[in-house]
Amino acid sequence: MSLLEIRNLEINYRSRNGLARAVDRVSLSLDAGDTLGLVGESGCGKTTVAKAVMRLLPEKKALVRGEIRFKGRDLMKLDWKEIRKIRWEEIALISQSAMNALDPVHRVGDQVMEPMIYHRNVSKAIARNRMAEVFGLVGLNYDRAFDYPHQFSGGMKQRVVIAMALMLEPDLIIADEPTTALDVLVQDQIIHQIKELLSRLNHAFILITHDIAVVAETCRRMIVMYAGKIMEYAETEAIFYDPYNPYTLGLQNAFPSVKGPKRELISIPGFPPSLMDPVGGCRFAARCPFSLPRCLKEEPALSEVGPGHFSACHRHVDVAEIRERARRFETWLRDEAA
């Protein structure tokens, strides 16, 4: 049985102007110890999905439908007491910390030890031991625990937040844009740290980011999302070597690679669609250089294009041609939309 199974998750946000469809029938599954990356532009729904798992979405504003099964139990049906028990013990969150994840008026150590003391009712001494352990795992000096957050650099704060997540050895760790707010060199360090931790420990891991390169280095499987829908879903290697979805191709183009052959950076023109009153057809059709009239009317379903490899597109048959054209700069210019 998989550790986490999400079925037909639909999340609508209530706003002044109506309902915004943030997540549109997303399904995914994750086994124990496995690693999954959720990739997409800002606003594509990836963070919303993650927060939904921990039921962190504001109850009155976000209407959630669908099933989120964790270790067999539907999280949407549990009451608050049980949810709070699961939080951190079984599912932990690593957030973007460079800004604000740590409370400025309490010492770092207190904040790191808190979940352990609170959930397991252990003594401070025991918590301190465990804290020393996790600090070691992330490469932090134990003495720093007595400092306040404002005395830490961005990278160190990120390590603190990672350490904090490891405290109770949760079955699942969700990392939400852990490297986005950091500068490039520090980003690299943190990614290495995460990789190391993943290989040493066997927590299941979901990484949420818009940076496809980070996912490439850390996750075994990957989901590409756009405007609340899943575009492509497969093992990371498969997506990189065998991409089927035009959106994925566009994403790959937009990220520079120091190693590969020199090429121009190509970005996808246009903007993600409004999430209110979603129009029919494929969400990406308006920006897709390969869209056909059919794409604007009929929404493509996720179909299996390879072993464990799914993509939502009407033009899978033409994938070879599409891949070829995607490599060319002119394809992505506005007026070339075929």
Partner 1 sequence: MIITLWVLITVVFFLFRIVPADPTAMFVGAALDPVSQKMLKEMHGLDKPKLVQYVVYLNNLLKGEFGVSIRTNHEVIGMLRDKIWNTLFLMGISMCLAFFLGVGIGTFLAWKRGTAIDAAGVTLFLAFRSAPEFWTGMILLVIFGYGLKWFPIGLMLTPGAIYSGFWDKYFNWDFVHHLILPVFTMTLFYLATPMLVTRNSILDILKEDFIELAQAKGLSDTRIMFRYALRNALLPVITIAPLMVGFAIGGQVLLEKVFSWPGMGRELVDAVSGLDYPVVQAAFLFMGAVVIFGNFLTDVLYRILDPRVEIG
Partner 2 sequence: MQTRRFLGTLSGLKRFYREQKEIFRGEKLSIAGLIILLAFVLLAIIGPHIAPYGSFEVSVEKSGFVPQDKSPSAKHLFGLTRYGHDVFSQTLTGARTAVVVGLVSALMVVLVGGNLGLIAGYKGGWIDEVIMRITDIAYGIPFLPMALVLMTLMGRGAWNIVIVIVVLFWRTTSRVIRSQVLTVKERAYIKSAQVAGASDLRIMYRHIAPNVLPMTFLYLSFAVGWAVIAEASISFLGFGDPDDVSWGQMIHQVFAAQMFREAWWWYLPPGFCIVLLVMSTFLIGLAYEKVVNPRLKND
How far apart are CB 15 and partner 2 at their closest, in Å?
7
How far apart are CB 57 and partner 2 at their closest, in Å?
14
CA distance 80 to 102: 24
Q: Based on the number of CB atoms within 10 Å of its own CB, is 220 exposed (0-12), middle (13-18) or buried (19 or more)?
A: middle
Per partner kind, with CB cut-offs from 5 to 8 A, the member of partner 2, partner 1, none near residue 127 is none
Q: Based on the number of CB atoms within 10 Å of its own CB, is 235 exposed (0-12), middle (13-18) or buried (19 or more)?
A: middle
Q: Of 12, 35, 96, 245, which lies in the binding site for partner 1, with binding defined by CB under 8 A?
A: 96
**Alpha helices, H only, the chain:** 46-53, 80-86, 108-120, 124-138, 154-166, 184-200, 212-218, 236-241, 246-254, 293-297, 319-326
Q: Of 15, 42, 129, 274, which lies in the binding site for partner 2, with binding defined by CB under 8 A?
A: 15
How far apart are CB 84 and partner 1 at their closest, in Å?
4
Q: How many residues bind partner 2 (CB under 8 A)?
A: 4
Contact call for residue 115 and partner 1 (CB under 8 A):
yes
Q: Of 8, 18, 42, 61, which lies in the binding site for partner 2, with binding defined by CB under 8 A?
A: 61
Answer whether 48's CB lies under 8 Å from 28's CB.
no
Binding string to partner 1 for residues 133 to 172, with x set by CB under 8 A, is what? ---------------x-x----------x-----------
How far apart are CB 323 and partner 1 at their closest, in Å?
40
β-sheet bridge partners, residue 241: none
CA distance 221 to 223: 7
Contact call for residue 258 and partner 1 (CB under 8 A):
no
Q: How many residues bind partner 1 (CB under 8 A)?
A: 28
Per partner kind, with CB cut-offs from 5 to 8 A, the member of partner 2, partner 1, none near residue 201 is none
Please name the residues in contact with 124: beta carbons below 8 A apart, sequence gap of 6 or more: 113, 117
Name the DSSP letter for residue 310: E
Token pair 């976000």 is at which residue? 62
Token pair 């190693």 is at which residue? 259
Binding site for partner 1 (CB under 8 A): 54, 56, 83-89, 92-93, 95-96, 99-106, 114-115, 118-119, 148, 150, 161
Binding site for partner 2 (CB under 8 A): 14-16, 61
